[in-house]
């Protein structure tokens, strides 16, 4: 992967595995940061752009998005091969119970993990690829090799139900935010320092608003970090500034929001820990819950009344 010339895009399996691992507590902040930045260490050469990375968390092979948060192990018995087919390396986490459950806490955590995975996919630089049905929580019952089934295991059920409609509403929100913010889908790699005319468009921050240093990037136990993205205006779009906060750990942390580069404060546009996503003005500090993503939007002084 990464050896194709400019003009090609490639499925990024490192994105898939790292994002899955981050949300199950097995990948560090440094690992995750490389993926949300567009995997530049793999693709940023010979003039390639972030679209060279096709980001995905699920594909036609393997678990669906819903099954990633519901099963630790594959359940391919219906394939007739004694559950020996399909990959044993799924990078999944069942949130404490294998398979469907009536436990409200487990089900709430699973919904949050789905929101985390969707937000990670659509807020990362590169091209997002969404498996059909993941936008409403389709399950294959833990089967990760369903190619041989022309039945309910492999079909899309368009009777979504309340849970499916809830997931779909969130999927619409994150795709809409990605479309709205050039900072979330920029055409060139952010954080480059090797060209004199490059702006400082990406700053990595700790939860207490200090710039990340090597000791933190190398800390395998670090789980929380922030991305301050500030892309300049061009002929197609105005200047856009967002702050992304990721916490893959189980415990919450206190965020200190940096000064807004646009002169006014921040608005919390999304918090995956919340069931209802209602934009709200953010204060100087914010509690970043465990296993959550928060997106803040910066506003210029002239925008404050809007």
**Tens-place pLDDT, residues 158-210:** 999 999 999 999 999 999 999 999 999 999 999 876 655 556 899 999 999 99
**Tens-place pLDDT, residues 218-275:** 899 999 999 999 998 887 888 999 999 999 999 999 999 999 999 889 999 999 999 9
CA dihedral 107, 110, 115, 118 (to 10 degrees): -140
The model carries a pTM of: 0.95
Please state the domain extents for the chain.
10-182, 192-303
Residues 6+ apart with CB under 8 A from 222: 28, 29, 30, 216
Q: Could you tell me which CATH number the domain at 10-182 has?
A: 3.20.20.80
Give the model's pLDDT for residue 305.
45
Task: Please state, as a whole number, how many other Cβ atoms lie within 10 Å of the Cβ of residue 209.
Answer: 17
For residue 300, name the pLDDT band (cuts at 50, 70, 90): confident
H helices of the chain, in order, are: 13-23, 29-36, 40-43, 65-68, 104-122, 161-180, 214-217
Partners of 287 in the β-ladder: 254
Residues 6+ apart with CB under 8 A from 172: none
Q: Could you tell me which CATH number the domain at 192-303 has?
A: 2.60.40.1180
**Tens-place pLDDT, residues 118-149:** 999 999 999 999 999 999 999 999 999 999 99
Taken in order 78, 84, 86, 87, is the CA torsion positive or negative?
positive
């Amino acid at each position: 992967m990464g050896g194709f010339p400019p003009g090609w895009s490639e499925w990024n399996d490192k994105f898939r595995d790292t994002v899955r691992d981050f949300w199950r507590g097995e990948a560090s902040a440094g690992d995750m940061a490389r993926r949300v930045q567009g995997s530049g260490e793999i693709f940023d050469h010979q003039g390639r752009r972030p679209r060279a990375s096709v980001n995905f968390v699920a594909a036609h092979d393997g678990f669906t998005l819903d099954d990633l948060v519901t099963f630790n192990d594959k359940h391919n018995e219906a394939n007739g091969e004694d559950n020996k087919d399909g990959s044993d390396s799924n990078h999944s986490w069942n949130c404490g119970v294998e398979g469907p459950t009536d436990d409200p806490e487990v089900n709430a955590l699973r919904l949050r993990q789905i929101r985390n995975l969707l937000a990670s996919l659509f807020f990362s630089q590169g091209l997002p690829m969404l498996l059909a049905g993941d936008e409403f929580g389709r399950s294959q019952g833990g089967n990760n090799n369903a190619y041989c089934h022309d039945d309910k295991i492999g079909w899309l059920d368009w009777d979504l139900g309340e849970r499916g409609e809830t997931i779909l509403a969130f999927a619409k929100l994150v795709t809409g935010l990605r479309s709205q913010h050039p900072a979330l889908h920029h055409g060139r790699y952010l954080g480059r320092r090797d060209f004199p005319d490059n702006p400082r468009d990406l700053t990595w921050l700790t939860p207490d608003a200090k710039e990340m240093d090597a000791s933190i990037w190398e800390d395998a136990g670090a789980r929380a970090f922030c991305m301050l993205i500030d892309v300049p205006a061009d002929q197609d779009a105005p200047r856009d500034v967002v702050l992304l906060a990721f916490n893959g750990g189980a415990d919450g942390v206190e965020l200190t929001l940096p000064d807004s580069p646009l002169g006014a404060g921040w608005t919390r546009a999304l918090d995956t820990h919340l069931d209802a996503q209602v934009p709200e003005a953010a204060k100087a500090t914010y509690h970043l819950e465990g296993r959550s993503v928060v997106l803040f939007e910066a506003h210029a002084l002239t925008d404050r009344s809007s």
